[in-house]
């Protein structure tokens, strides 16, 4: 996806590092800095570890117009409601348009300085303005957090959430009915040893146990583990009985 993050006059090197990490996290590579108050790639890499590939592509500009010159679509981010008509959008709405625009050319995500945000002359260069919904009494987000939220929405829009989770290292086949019946028998035996039933109806309790087990289907490994636990309870009760100690709840 042809997307570049542009930071206009960032004031804090730590915030730049957080943005670099966010780019790496979500698979984006391009960052442009317009008149940063300070920038040291070595120090940034010390905060955002293993991001050398992103840092190697960081570009610095002295004017915002130059940083945006090759972009076909510019999206500005602001926490403040503006009086001028700026085509405002929410992040999820903007993400779909950004993905489409990125097919035609480079799209810039433009973020302002931490203390003042984007000035009006910078917003004049934007095709769209995005406001991330927050608590109106405390609306301003930390720069890195704002970038993370938008990159996450872009990742969803390009289909990253459809990527399957990594399969567990060990997968056991589902427990068969015969194995489950053995489990239920062992659980009932264990409950009898500790005199759990007393005035309770055995059938009703065991029916509830079945419902619980069936609600989350077990694999063979899980069923064997639960059986082993129940069997150990029975054995422990038998050892106590041989010692003349009786379980009394």
pLDDT in tens, 18-66: 999 999 999 999 999 999 999 999 999 999 999 999 999 999 999 999 9
Model confidence pTM above 0.75: no
> Contact, 154 vs 161, CB < 8 A?
no
Q: Phi and psi dihedrals of 59, rounded to 5?
A: -120, 145
Question: What mean pLDDT comes out for the span 107-136?
Answer: 94
Q: Evaluate if residue 81 carries a pLDDT over 80.
A: no
Q: Evaluate if residue 217 carries a pLDDT over 80.
A: yes
pLDDT band at 199 (very low <50, low <70, confident <90, very high): confident
Question: In 50-174, where do the E strands start and end?
Answer: 59-61, 71-77, 88-89, 106-111, 128-130
Q: Are residues 120 and 67 in the same domain?
A: yes
Residue that is written with structure tokens 């399969």 in the block: 167
Residue 122: predicted pLDDT: 95
Final residue of a structural domain among 162, 188, 209: 162
Whether 194 is in a domain gets the answer yes
User: Which residues make Cβ contacts (< 8 Å) with residue 205, sequence separation at least 6?
Assistant: 191, 196, 197
Tell me the percentage of the chain whose pLDDT exceeds 90.
Answer: 77
Q: Are residues 14 and 119 in the same domain?
A: yes
Q: Are residues 27 and 128 in the same domain?
A: yes
Residue 237: predicted pLDDT: 87
Q: Are residues 154 and 188 in the same domain?
A: no
State the total domains in the chain. 2
Q: Give the structural domain span for 134.
A: 3-162
What is the rounded distance in angstroms from the CA atom of residue 85 to the CA atom of residue 87?
6
């Amino acid at each position: 996806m042809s997307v570049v993050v542009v930071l206009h006059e960032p004031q804090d090197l730590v915030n730049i590092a957080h943005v670099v990490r966010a780019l790496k996290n979500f698979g984006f590579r391009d960052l442009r800095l317009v008149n940063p108050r300070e920038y040291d790639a070595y120090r940034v890499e010390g905060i955002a570890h293993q991001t050398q590939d992103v840092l190697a592509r960081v570009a610095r500009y002295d004017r915002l117009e130059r940083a945006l010159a090759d972009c076909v679509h510019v999206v500005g981010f602001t926490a403040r409601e503006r009086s001028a008509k700026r085509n405002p959008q929410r992040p999820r709405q903007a993400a779909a348009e950004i993905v489409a625009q990125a097919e035609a050319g480079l799209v810039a995500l433009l973020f302002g300085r931490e203390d003042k945000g984007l000035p009006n002359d910078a917003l004049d260069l934007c095709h769209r303005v995005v406001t991330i919904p927050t608590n109106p009494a405390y609306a301003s987000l930390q720069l890195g957090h704002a970038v993370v939220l938008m990159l996450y929405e872009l990742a969803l829009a390009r289909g990253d959430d459809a990527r399957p989770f990594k399969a567990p290292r060990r997968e056991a086949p589902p427990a068969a009915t015969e194995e489950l019946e053995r489990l239920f028998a062992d659980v009932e035996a264990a409950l009898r040893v500790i005199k759990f039933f007393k005035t309770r109806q055995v059938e009703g309790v065991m029916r509830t146990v079945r419902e619980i087990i069936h609600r989350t289907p077990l694999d063979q490994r899980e069923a064997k583990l639960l059986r082993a636990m129940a069997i150990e309870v029975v054995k422990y009760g038998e050892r106590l009985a041989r010692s003349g100690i009786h379980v009394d709840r």
